[in-house]
Structure 1
């Protein structure tokens, strides 16, 4: 299912804004670890409770990126500027994993690459993209069962929109103080009944 051309630019700007901030967070983690010159000190930092919490947070930020990538595939959003940002994120993530290899016990706690991937299921709806039913950040409707730690957590609902908890949390803390609310087309067959209900 592809997004109508009139919405594509809006979606692209929304995704680019979020992905650029994801890149900043992962790049910052690289800079912090790179500034520690002694491997023993780096290991000590990473094994501390604050270090473990910090790396866990960075992993969740990367997980949001993988959801966004799956949302882009689901709705055929494929543009060069987004692919370029995704490439930068992957490069930063790979560099971070190289730093973490100095502390194997931390590296072993990271989710496997397959656990971070989101499966893209075929969309069978006969309407244009319905933003009311998708996460307002990553554009995925639900989390995959294998995805942790939110697989059992319901979507959060705010102002008539839905968000995965970590997607909404990342947006509010690292992108903007207002949650995003992309607008569907007027003829979206999923939203027309909802709009009638709300009016």
Structure 2
């Protein structure tokens, strides 16, 4: 069962908005590092505690884009507009890694590309997973995430929706002051059961 057209449009708009903001954050990091003319000064900035914290935050933003890729795979969302934004994110990320190469200790501290790609692994399915069981931002269903049980259990419930803390944090600080709450498809058996239980 695929997501209904109106639900697909809402999911696509949601994903595009978030991915564009992710791209802006990574692009801004590139602009900041590019504005430092001396490699030695750039290395000094990156090795400072504030610089390392900043890059750590940018890495977490990039990780969110990979989770969103996984959410798209899980929901069989394949849209040219989203592929273009994901491509732009990858180009900006690769460019940022080139800057980080002047600071090998920081580059080594980054998660491996394979670890980041694992986050993007979604499970293709003929059915559309219930939106109530996934993160309201990245749309990745926690049952298909390649995360430890401790990481899966750290999702937070806000207003009856689940969110990864880092996803909710990004959305609230970089997208909108209200967390997203996408409606599930009308044939979702989990939502139908939930609605019956509430009666």
Q: TM-score, normalised by structure 2?
A: 0.92
* Structure-2 separation of matches of 1:79 and 1:122: 15
- In structure 2, the residue matched to 1:26 is 26
Task: Determine if the alignment matches structure 1 residue 120 to structure 2 residue 122.
Answer: yes
Task: Determine if the alignment matches structure 1 residue 36 to structure 2 residue 36.
Answer: yes
- Give the 3 Å change call, closer, same or farther, for CA 152–137 of structure 1 in structure 2: closer
State the Cα distance separating 1:154 from its structure 2 match: 1.9
Residues 27-176 of structure 1: matches in 2 within 5 Å? 27-117=27-117, 118=119, 119-123=121-125, 128-142=128-142, 143-145=145-147, 151=151, 153-176=153-176
* Structure-2 separation of matches of 1:122 and 1:89: 23
Gaps (5+ residues) in structure 2?
none
What's the CA shift string for 1:158-185, capped at 9, x where partnerless?
Answer: 1110011111111011000000000013
State the Cα distance separating 1:152 from its structure 2 match: 5.8
* Structure-1 separation of matches of 2:137 and 2:58: 17
Please tell me whether the aligned partners of residues 154 and 164 of structure 2 are also in contact (alpha carbons under 8 angstroms). Answer: yes
What's the CA shift string for 1:10-58, capped at 9, x where partnerless?
Answer: 1100000000000000000000000000011001100000001000000
* Structure-1 separation of matches of 2:168 and 2:198: 23
* Structure-2 separation of matches of 1:25 and 1:63: 12
- Give the 3 Å change call, closer, same or farther, for CA 129–153 of structure 1 in structure 2: closer
> Which protein is richer in helix relative to its size?
2
Q: What is the SS of the residue equivalent to 1:108?
A: helix
Q: What is the SS of the residue equivalent to 1:132?
A: helix
RMSD: 1.8
Q: TM-score, normalised by structure 1?
A: 0.92
Q: What is the SS of the residue equivalent to 1:36?
A: coil
What count of residue pairs does the alignment treat as equivalent?
A: 195
Q: What is the SS of the residue equivalent to 2:109?
A: coil
Q: What is the SS of the residue equivalent to 2:53?
A: helix
* Structure-1 separation of matches of 2:37 and 2:112: 27
